[in-house]
């Protein structure tokens, strides 16, 4: 079983996200360690991209702070190498297609495997275009994480069947006003996914509070939180680790 | 690299040699597939084509003139120069051709709302114009830098009933406007059609733009046949994303004797960082839904680019142009701000035409090329737009402050 899938076997998984290099390398290492100690089941690290079109303003600003701190792709690998010495939690990278493409898919995937990164989330590499990287993720044993949304419709079977590691169910915050209908559509989507795969499905869609996490974990196998943690990083800057740790603990407790 | 490039198959598959594709988040993919299906359904549909060509004729004012530039020809003393006058279209640029086509697809898909990105404002104005004509809602995304330097066009779009968003993320120019428009599209794809203004983005946008802009070269080919009885030797057009260039080249791609020259914005020069010369200085990457050529750093971070022309101020180029370059079918040359501004003044004085600063990048290349050729050679140069919008910034470039109050 993949290390990412295995992270879901002990109950509902909590998957926090931070931007690598926000605001500097050492803080990111401390934040990763804090999240791992607080019970994170998988840690998602964003490799900043100049034009993160799939991210909202909070994460875009996190990327900008990381660039201001001089982040590079090799520096992100250095962060992972340092953190890996102290934590055993599985890692996934979230980044845009141009980053691994430009680094060279082979070289990028090799480096990930060498440092113990277990999977890749690449929002702008949809299933139609994944064939160009898949030979390399397979060669090095990385899971290519499939994204599924409320818009996916009749694409769900094909996406679910190709899934590995875990599935990232993503939706926009824009529709949270219609809460009841939204819940019904989401639980319907999870039921649909389960028809085609045993790969666990986690949800990330602007979840902030332990209450929301508990609520969504009724049907989701895991909870992914990005913006709320990047907000803490923004507020506490180089001293965010204890706060991020506390938050992670509360969220993990809410879904346990 | 000399792979042969044939447009027809590429436009169907969305792959132009290695370039093109649909590199978009899953949240947008189902909608892009619907756009692709709608385009495939209607592109050869007689009713669609009839409505498209009727609007081009009766609303946009086509065919645009192919004008023999006698003064320039005599002054430069070489090849005969013909100007394809897209600046004479309604709204003052070639952009309207494509907007009419895409908006007709949008209407057939039942969309009520058009969104678009714009740099100089030409595409935004064209989209706002057609939205007004079709009774559709319209929102335009424009970098804050561009709303500041093109205030007249912002007001023009507002007059036409569009809402203009000044995009404050990133470098606040065209690429950031595309980012914002893509985000809005992801949130609102149910009732919204994204009218892509250039030959960029995910398939089927480069194919649609090629298709709807190819009217430029369909006309020029016939018009030159009528007056000279032959094909041109050169076709010259400016390239940002490459919409007027692909339209100017389209009908000649399979005529190997016709040399195709795209003129990109070198800004302050290709040896400086203040440039937008993607063909000269870029490398292959994945951005804005396509694999193409981009100005980027070694990590793949997209560069902030520069050109005096807001319409060419873009770090990428359409995938079909890269295929045309790699296959050796077209050449791309960088033109600096200085050369373009000189051309702006030159064509105004020689021919009495104030052409868009974008188009003047092509005029500058003609100034260099024509004198090197014998008098029996023919160049067609596309004037993609008119230059009224640029008068104030050219004056400023020359150190003249115009007081418009």
Query: Looking at the domain assignment, is residue A5 inside a domain?
Result: no
- Asked if B210 and B199 touch (Cβ cutoff 8 Å), the reply is yes
Distance from CA of B308 to the nearest CA of A (A): 22
Query: Looking at the domain assignment, is residue B403 inside a domain?
Result: no
Chain B, 27-86: which have a CB under 8 Å from a chain A CB? 27-31
Cβ pair B302:A123 closer than 8 A: no
What residues in A contact B175, CB-CB < 8 Å? 51
Q: CA-nearest residue of chain B to A56?
A: B183
- Asked if B200 and B246 touch (Cβ cutoff 8 Å), the reply is no
* CATH classification of the domain holding B153: 3.40.50.1100
A150 against A180, higher pLDDT: A150
Q: Is the domain of B305 the same as that of B166?
A: no
Residues near A214 by beta carbon (within 8 Å), at least 6 away in sequence? A254, A255
pLDDT at A153: 94
pLDDT at A177: 41
Q: Is the domain of B232 the same as that of B325?
A: yes
What residues in B contact A159, CB-CB < 8 Å? 26
Instruction: Report how far apart, in Å, the C-alpha atoms of A14 and of each of A204, A207, A221 are.
Output: 10, 12, 9
Q: Is the domain of B40 the same as that of B157?
A: yes
Percent of chain A exceeding pLDDT 70 equals: 96
Cβ pair B30:A153 closer than 8 A: yes
Q: Is the domain of B124 the same as that of B273?
A: no
What residues in B contact A174, CB-CB < 8 Å? 187
Give the Cα separation of A196 and A199 in Å (integer): 9
Cβ pair B26:A51 closer than 8 A: no
Q: Domain end: B179, B209, B239, which one?
A: B209
Q: Is the domain of B202 the same as that of B222?
A: no
Cα B77 to its chain centre, rounded Å, is 30
Strand A146-149 and strand B137-143: the pairing is: unpaired
Q: CA-nearest residue of chain A to B19?
A: A129
pLDDT at A205: 78
Distance from CA of A98 to the nearest CA of B (A): 5
Residue B141 at interface with chain A, using a CB cutoff of 8 Å: no
Q: Is the domain of B336 the same as that of B370?
A: yes
pLDDT at B151: 87
Could you read off the pLDDT of A213-222 as tens digits, one per residue?
Answer: 999 999 999 9
End-to-end CA distance of chain A: 22
* CATH classification of the domain holding A144: 3.20.20.70
The residues of A that are catalytic are: 44, 55
- List average pLDDT for each run of 10 residues in chain B, which is 405 residues long: 82 96 96 98 98 98 98 98 98 97 98 95 96 98 91 94 95 91 92 97 98 98 98 98 98 98 98 97 98 98 93 95 98 98 98 97 98 98 96 94 69
Q: Is the domain of B242 the same as that of B135?
A: no
* Number of separate domains in chain A: 1
Cβ pair B169:A125 closer than 8 A: no
Q: Is the domain of B264 the same as that of B199?
A: no
Query: Looking at the domain assignment, is residue A71 inside a domain?
Result: yes
Backbone angles phi, psi at B199, to 5 degrees: -80, 40
Cβ pair A98:B187 closer than 8 A: no
Residue B307 at interface with chain A, using a CB cutoff of 8 Å: no
Q: CA-nearest residue of chain A to B287?
A: A98
ipTM: 0.96
Could you read off the pLDDT of A158-194 as tens digits, one per residue?
Answer: 999 999 999 999 876 444 444 566 678 889 999 999 9
Active site residue B95: yes
What residues in B contact A101, CB-CB < 8 Å? 284-286, 300
Query: Looking at the domain assignment, is residue A230 inside a domain?
Result: yes
Query: Looking at the domain assignment, is residue A114 inside a domain?
Result: yes
Identify the domain containing residue B11 by its residue range. 7-56+95-209
* Number of separate domains in chain B: 2
Q: Is the domain of B41 the same as that of B68?
A: no
Give the Cα separation of A146 and A196 in Å (integer): 13
Q: Is the domain of B153 the same as that of B261?
A: no
Query: Looking at the domain assignment, is residue B136 inside a domain?
Result: yes
Query: Looking at the domain assignment, is residue B240 inside a domain?
Result: yes
Q: Is the domain of B52 the same as that of B82?
A: no
Chain A, 143-182: which have a CB under 8 Å from a chain B CB? 147-149, 151-153, 155, 159, 170, 172, 174
Identify the domain containing residue A166 by its residue range. 13-255
Query: Looking at the domain assignment, is residue B78 inside a domain?
Result: yes
Distance from CA of B229 to the nearest CA of A (A): 46
pLDDT at A172: 62
Distance from CA of B115 to the nearest CA of A (A): 16
Tally A–B CB contacts below 8 A: 99
């Amino acid at each position: 079983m993949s290390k990412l899938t295995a992270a879901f076997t002990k109950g509902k998984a909590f998957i926090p996200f931070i931007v690598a290099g926000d605001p500097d390398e050492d803080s990111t290492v401390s934040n990763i360690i804090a999240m791992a100690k607080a019970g994170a089941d998988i840690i998602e690290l964003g490799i900043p991209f100049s034009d993160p079109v799939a991210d909202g303003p909070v994460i875009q600003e996190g990327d900008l702070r990381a660039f201001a701190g001089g982040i590079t792709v090799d520096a992100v690998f250095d962060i992972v190498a340092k953190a890996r010495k102290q934590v055993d939690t599985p890692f996934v990278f979230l980044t845009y297609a141009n980053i691994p493409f430009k680094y060279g898919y082979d070289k990028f995937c090799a480096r990930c495997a060498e440092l113990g990164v277990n999977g890749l989330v690449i929002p702008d590499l949809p299933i139609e275009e994944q064939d160009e990287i898949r030979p390399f993720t397979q060669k090095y044993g990385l899971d290519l994480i499939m994204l599924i949304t409320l818009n996916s419709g009749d694409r769900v079977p094909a996406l679910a069947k190709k899934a590995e590691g875990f599935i990232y169910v993503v939706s926009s915050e824009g529709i949270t006003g219609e809460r009841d209908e939204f819940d019904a559509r989401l639980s319907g989507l999870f039921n649909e996914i389960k028809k085609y795969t045993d790969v666990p499905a986690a949800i990330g869609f602007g979840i902030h509070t332990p209450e929301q996490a508990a609520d969504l974990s009724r049907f989701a196998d895991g909870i992914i939180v990005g913006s709320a943690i990047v907000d803490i990083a923004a507020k506490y800057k180089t001293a965010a680790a204890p706060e991020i740790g506390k938050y992670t603990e509360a969220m993990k407790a809410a879904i346990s | 690299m000399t792979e042969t490039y044939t447009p027809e198959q590429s436009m169907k598959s969305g792959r132009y040699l290695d370039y093109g594709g649909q590199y978009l988040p899953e949240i947008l993919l189902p909608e892009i597939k619907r756009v692709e299906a709608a385009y495939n359904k209607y592109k050869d549909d007689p009713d669609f084509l009839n409505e498209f060509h009727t609007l081009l004729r009766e609303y946009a004012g086509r065919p645009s003139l192919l004008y023999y530039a006698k003064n320039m020809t005599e002054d430069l003393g070489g090849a005969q120069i013909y100007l394809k006058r897209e600046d004479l279209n309604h709204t003052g640029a070639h952009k309207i051709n494509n907007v009419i086509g895409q908006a007709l697809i949008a209407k057939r898909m039942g969309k009520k709302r058009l969104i678009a990105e714009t740099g100089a404002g030409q595409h935004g104005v064209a989209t706002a114009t057609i939205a007004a004509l079709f009774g559709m809602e319209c929102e335009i995304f424009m970098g804050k830098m561009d709303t500041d330097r093109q205030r007249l066009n912002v007001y023009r779009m507002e007059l036409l009933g569009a809402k203009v968003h000044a995009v404050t993320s990133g470098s606040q120019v065209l690429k950031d406007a595309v980012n914002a428009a893509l985000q809005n599209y992801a949130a609102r794809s149910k009732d919204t059609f994204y009218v892509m203004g250039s030959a960029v983005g995910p398939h089927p946008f480069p194919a649609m733009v090629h298709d709807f802009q190819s009217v430029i070269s369909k006309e020029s080919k016939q018009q030159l046949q009528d007056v000279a009885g032959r094909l041109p030797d050169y076709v010259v057009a400016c390239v940002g994303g490459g919409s007027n260039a692909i339209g100017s080249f389209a009908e000649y791609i399979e005529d190997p004797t016709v040399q195709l020259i795209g003129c990109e914005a070198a800004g302050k020069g290709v040896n400086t960082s203040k440039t937008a010369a993607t063909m000269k200085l870029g490398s292959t990457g994945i951005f804005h839904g396509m694999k193409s050529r981009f100005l980027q750093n070694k990590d793949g971070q997209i560069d902030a680019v520069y050109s005096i022309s807001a319409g060419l101020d873009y770090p990428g180029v359409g995938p079909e142009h890269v295929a045309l370059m790699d296959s050796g079918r077209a050449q791309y040359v960088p033109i600096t701000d200085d050369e373009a501004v000189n051309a702006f003044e030159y064509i105004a004085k020689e021919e009495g035409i104030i052409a868009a600063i974008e188009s003047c990048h092509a005029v500058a290349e003609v100034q260099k090329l024509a004198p090197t050729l014998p008098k029996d050679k023919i160049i067609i140069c596309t004037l993609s737009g008119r230059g009224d919008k640029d008068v104030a910034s050219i004056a400023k470039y020359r150190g003249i402050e115009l007081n418009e109050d």
